Amino acid sequence: MSATPDTREVVLEARELTREFDGVKALDRFSFKLHRGEVLGLLGANGAGKTTAMNCLLGLTLPTSGELNAFGLPLQANRISILQRSNFSSAYTALPGNLLVWQNLSVFARIYGVPNPKKKIAELMELLEISHLGKRVTGQLSAGESTRVNLVKAFLNDPELLMLDEPTASLDPDIADKVRKVVRKVQRERSIAILYTSHNMRDIEEVCDRVIFLHKGKIVCEGTPTEIMSRSSSNNLEDVFIKIARDGEILDEPKKEEAP
């Protein structure tokens, strides 16, 4: 964990976020800050609370208690203006499968009010090496192609905040590597704040600046991938993941950031 306070703008902040389902806490006083230009990995075993956290951050699920702010504004009260500056891509959602790729992307470009949408779509498709897919039926794409089309949709509005839910799930190592590189490239060029969930530790090591490990809805470990590996005396994040998933091992008490 970095000792020097981060002076960059806080793009997304959760304070004491708790979400209960039938008395069971899926998220338990979850707090974090995501800064401009930072990629924050949200890790944990199945049921650790990642998806619940992501859903709360997207406004799809309301927290039982706690505060959520994006761009300094309360999320629920400013949902539309915040979503206009954000975007999302998940391996578990799809664009309508019976439309052509360009049709799907044109619809979302219009929703986000993208100026000169044709040019923007063409640029992003070229960046993700899928220019040839424009006239293909979305539902007939391979997993790798579909993921990249979803990423084009996610980058359409030049988001300042991007939430990526397992973007490399079900991709072969070659495509996963390409996706990681593109995400990192665009993120650096545009200083995007990204919240990234993945079960692929290679993803996390390569893409994330900082990582939060969740276990039973609580933060059990937070820091840069290198710091976490060194604290855990592990050579890779996968070992850390397994230790936490099996034992709920707390590597250290997460250091609380000072209130602004």
Q: Footprint of other proteins on this chain (CB under 8 A)?
A: 19, 21, 51-52, 55, 58-62, 80-81, 83-84, 86-88, 90, 92-100, 103-104, 106-108, 110-113, 137, 153
Task: Name the residue nearer to other proteins (CB basis): 90 or 168.
Answer: 90
Task: Name the residue nearer to other proteins (CB basis): 56 or 201.
Answer: 56
Rounded to a whole number of angstroms, the minimum distance from the CB of residue 75 to other proteins is 12
Rounded to a whole number of angstroms, the minimum distance from the CB of residue 260 to other proteins is 27
Q: Tell me whether strands 86-90 and 73-74 are parallel, antiparallel or unpaired.
A: unpaired
Task: Name the residue nearer to other proteins (CB basis): 81 or 226.
Answer: 81
Rounded to a whole number of angstroms, the minimum distance from the CB of residue 21 to other proteins is 6
| Chain centre to alpha carbon of residue 182 | 14
SS3 assignment, position 52:
helix
Task: Name the residue nearer to other proteins (CB basis): 52 or 187.
Answer: 52
Choose among 119, 113, 112, 171: nearest CA to 145: 171
Rounded to a whole number of angstroms, the minimum distance from the CB of residue 193 to other proteins is 16
Sheet holding 86-90, edge to edge: 86-90, 161-165, 193-197, 39-43, 210-215, 218-223
Rg (CA), the chain: 18
Beta strands in 85-200 (DSSP E): 86-90, 161-165, 193-197
SS3 assignment, position 221:
strand
Task: Name the residue nearer to other proteins (CB basis): 196 or 241.
Answer: 196
Rounded to a whole number of angstroms, the minimum distance from the CB of residue 162 to other proteins is 11
